[in-house]
Structure 1
Amino acid sequence: MSAEPAESPVAPRKVRPFYWSVRRELWENRSIYLAPAAIAAVVLFGFLVSTFRLARSLRAAMAGVERDGLMMPYAATAFVVLATSMIVAVFYSLGALQGERRDRSILFWKSLPVSDAVTVLSKASIPLLVLPVIAFAVIVGANLIMLIWSTIVALLNGFDPRELWGRLPLAFMWLVLGISLPFLALWFAPVFAWLILVSAWARRMTILWALGPPVAVAIVERMAFGTSYVSKLLERRLSGGFTEAFSAKGQAKAPVDSIEAFDPTRLVFIADLWVGLALAALFLFAAIRLRRSRDPI
């Protein structure tokens, strides 16, 4: 009687600490995706109510009187969702590491086979990777709903929908957003990394500790030397990303309205971007070191 061949052991599934750490952040911080979706829903409601004026706007656009009126709601939706995502990113970063010390869950998470580096980097990936993807998906989804509804309204008013579609450069706007959102995330990387570092150190009032040192340095420089290099550097970091991404050739003179004006290849060669990424790496390294020694609050 022949012996049955032994079954080969099933290889255990490889644990992916970084992946599950990111999933944990999404489970514990639902505002990451609920806030952009909620604000988009509010804007959509306002747009649906306003479509009774769509026929008049379309006639004005066809007559050449009103060129940007049709596109304005779509661009405004993108701006509001993007601004909401930025606010969520700031407040998430401020509480990223302080929250686990405050509720003492740090004792539990440190008992798992997940390193401090993986934990900090997974938290940093939320404002740098996850939120830009969510913002882009919400913007495109909201714009598509607006386009479908506008098409229905145009048909009911006897317009050829192609007249509407030809005056809505949505594909170009989505292209600009698809390239600019990763750039903005990298541009603001030192800001998010600084906030995460502060959240790893501060016991309370993280927003004051985050704002206090740079503002104090700027004030001391102004009082002692009569210069404002620090304040200009801060202003450049907080507003320069939008100027570089959404104005023609980064000159803040005209908005991007063509590929020639956009020129996405130049974004890679902006020196301030790489300086900021080096600072972000330094701040995240310091946050990792701090998490190893910080106790619950």
Structure 2
Amino acid sequence: MNAADSSLPTTARSFAPVHSTHTFKMLLKREYWEHRGGFLWAPLIAGAISLVLTAVAFVFAEVAARRAISSGQLRIDGEVIVNGLDLGALTRTLDADKMQQLAHGIDLSLVMAAFWPFVVLAFVVFFYCLGSLYDDRKDRSVLFWKSLPVSDAQTVLSKLASAALVAPAIAVVIALLTMGSYMLLLSGMVMIHGGNPVELLWGPASPMRLAAGLVASIPVFALWGLPTFGWLMLCSSWARTKPFLWALMVPLLAGIAVSWFKVMELFDLDAGWFWSNIVGRMLLGTVSGTQLLQAPGQVQGGSEGLQDVLAHLSASNILASLALPSLWIGALAGAAMILVAIRLRRWRDEG
């Protein structure tokens, strides 16, 4: 730089203000990176475990079948099948009803394979919400976050969005990958035994319909679980110690008191209504599929229970849960508890 350049006046740089959506996006990233083990790795490991157990079951079944063949115990019409189960011949002998039963069995096995990540999701989201506002008060990191240009509302809502949308979306992606891998394992077994996977698996089954149902369950999960998210985050922001006991014991003791003194009889209702609509909504909203128990035409027992379960897992039936008044009433209650949690965060900054 020469003398002429050094004599030029230095102009200050102007920085554009950070948009609120960018701040919220960074808060979501912070929540993900701090809880990546629960949001990503725990459901992923659960899905992998289900696939490993399925592969082990296939191996044991194959070994048992070969032993039965070698000992002459595996017979059809008195003839030993030397080459094992000829699934190609089985396809030609199945009628329409049996193919429908086969399709339902495959769909149910797909649901069971995809079920594992959602079991982990229920526990992860429950304890995440419970510690979301308590942990940073416990280690006093809340003082650092309050020193940043981030409002309490943005912080609480980012944690809510992580529990209600981000974690379920990741679990759905992992469940879809698990379902696809499970179908590939089944296809390999069918091909080993001379069957056509397209005719026996991909054609009769409904993997795309089940996948669409899983994707449609994300907004329903977020709204249906809002009372649970709100209650747990309220306890997390309010409790000075042991938020788990407060979150668990208050609804349970309330349910016991209502049942003991028969309070619901004053409203021509039984105690079961309180346990289902108050206690259950406060504690079990992180369990996927609980909204189907209150949907019109809910799953019934009996011989047609399997068809009922599979029918309720379609995208249209899952989205039909959005018409339930109980869903929106609970969502409003959950939103009110979230607002209280935001207010409490402004006051509770003790360790």
2:72 aligns with none
Worse-matched range after superposition: 177-186 or 22-31: 177-186
Give the structure 1 partner of residue 278 of structure 2.
234
Q: Amino acid of the residue matched to residue 242 of structure 1?
A: G
Task: Name the CA distance, whole Å, in 1 between partners of 2:151 and 2:85.
Answer: 60
Within 2, Cα distance between the matches of 1:14 and 1:24?
17
Does 2:330 match 1:276?
yes
Q: 2:52 aligns with which of 32, 45, 49?
A: 45
Q: Would the alpha carbon gap of residues 110 and 144 (structure 1) be closer, same or farther in structure 2, given more than 3 Å must change? A: same
Match of 1:78 among 114, 120, 133: 114
Identity within the alignment, %: 32
Kindly provide the CA deviation profile for residues 129-171 of structure 1, in whole angstroms up to 9, marking residues without a partner as x: 1111011100111111222233233333322221221132111
Question: Which residue of 2 is the match for residue 24 of structure 1?
Answer: 30
8 Å contact 1:248–1:261 — kept in the other structure?
no
Q: Deviations over 1:46-103 (max 9, x none)?
A: 1222234488596798443862443343211222211211111101001001111111
Confirm or deny: 8 A CA contact 1:47 1:73 kept in the other structure.
no
Q: How does 1:204-223 map to 2 (within 5 A)?
A: 204-223=241-260
1:35 to 19, 42, 62: 42
TM-score w.r.t. the length of structure 1 is: 0.86
* CA root-mean-square deviation: 3.2
Say if 2:211 is the partner of 1:174: yes
1: CA distance between counterparts of 2:241 and 2:276?
Answer: 28
Residue correspondence of structure 1 range 1-297 to structure 2 within 5 A: 12=16, 14-15=18-19, 16-30=22-36, 31-52=38-59, 53=61, 62=91, 63=94, 64=98, 67=102, 68-163=104-199, 164-225=201-262, 227=264, 228=271, 229-234=273-278, 237=281, 238=284, 242=289, 244-245=291-292, 249-253=296-300, 254-257=308-311, 262-264=316-318, 266-297=320-351
CA distance in structure 1 between the partners assigned to 2:16 and 2:197 by the alignment: 55
Cα offsets for 1:99-126 (capped at 9, x unmatched): 1111111111111100000000000111
Secondary structure at 2:310 match in 1: coil
Alignment check: 8 A CA contact 2:190 2:196 kept: yes
Normalised by the length of structure 2, the TM-score is 0.74
1:236 is displaced (CA, Å) by: 5.6
| Contact 2:165–2:218 (8 Å) recurs in 1 | no
Aligned residues: 293
Q: CA 1:290/1:261 → structure 2, altered by over 3 Å: closer, same or farther?
A: closer
TM-superposed deviation, 1:184: 2.2
In structure 2, the gaps of 5 or more residues are 1-10, 63-83, 265-270, 301-307
* Worse overlay, 212-221 or 257-266: 257-266
Distance, in Å, in 2 between the alignment partners of 1:214 and 1:57 is 56
1: CA distance between counterparts of 2:180 and 2:338?
A: 38
In the aligned structure 2, how far is the partner of 1:57 from the partner of 1:283? 60
8 Å contact from structure 2 (residues 209, 315) kept in 1: no
Residue 262 of structure 1 and its aligned partner are, at CA, apart by: 4.9
Mark the CA change 1:207 to 1:250 in structure 2 (over 3 Å): closer, same or farther.
farther
Structure possessing the higher radius of gyration over alpha carbons: 2
- Write out per-residue CA displacement over residues 235-263 of structure 1, whole angstroms, 9 at most, x where no aligned residue: 66348973544898442223133899954
- Aligned residue in 2 for 1:4: none
In the alignment, is the contact (CA less than 8 A) between 1:151 and 1:161 conserved in 2?
yes
The one-letter code of the counterpart of 1:18 is F
Tell me: CA distance 1:70–1:230, structure 2 relative to 1, closer, same or farther (3 Å).
closer
